[in-house]
Amino acid sequence: KNEVEQSPQNLTAQEGEFITINCSYSVGISALHWLQQHPGGGIVSLFMLSSGKKKHGRLIATINIQEKHSSLHITASHPRDSAVYICAVGGSNYKLTFGKGTLLTVNP
């Protein structure tokens, strides 16, 4: 089974700061997911990537397949970015292994 580790577990930032959340996994994969969960809310898929980099607004996700590592960056952070960010990787088909999540708090 793939082991998924996220760091840091908790992150507090000031509005405007550049933020990086990391995800490492133990077994080679075909794709990695980044998800966002607001407090008391549902879960939204941000990115799915299998190589290189993807960008959506102020969010950038990168993956290094050889190093088994992915990062999620948030530029010019805003209090509305406060959420739990979850990394997930595929095991066998139909199944994902999820990280425990990173709780991000952005203060105004």
Partner 1 sequence: NAGVTQTPKFQVLKTGQSMTLQCAQDMNHEYMSWYRQDPGMGLRLIHYSVGAGITDQGEVPNGYNVSRSTTEDFPLRLLSAAPSQTSVYFCASSYSGHVATNEKLFFGSGTQLSVL
List of residues contacting partner 1 (CB under 8 A): 4, 29-31, 33, 35, 41-45, 48, 50, 86, 88-101
Question: Secondary structure of the chain: what % helix, strand, coil (to 5)?
Answer: 5, 60, 40
Considering the complex, state which of residue 77 and residue 99 has its C-beta at the smaller distance from partner 1: 99
Q: Closest distance between partner 1 and the C-beta of residue 37, in Å?
A: 9
Q: Closest distance between partner 1 and the C-beta of residue 72, in Å?
A: 15
Considering the complex, state which of residue 13 and residue 89 has its C-beta at the smaller distance from partner 1: 89
Q: Closest distance between partner 1 and the C-beta of residue 76, in Å?
A: 25
CB 5 within 8 A of CB 69: no
Considering the complex, state which of residue 89 and residue 106 has its C-beta at the smaller distance from partner 1: 89
| Per-residue CA distances from 29 to 23, 32, 49, 66 (Å) | 13, 7, 11, 10
How far does Cα 94 stand from its chain's mean position?
20
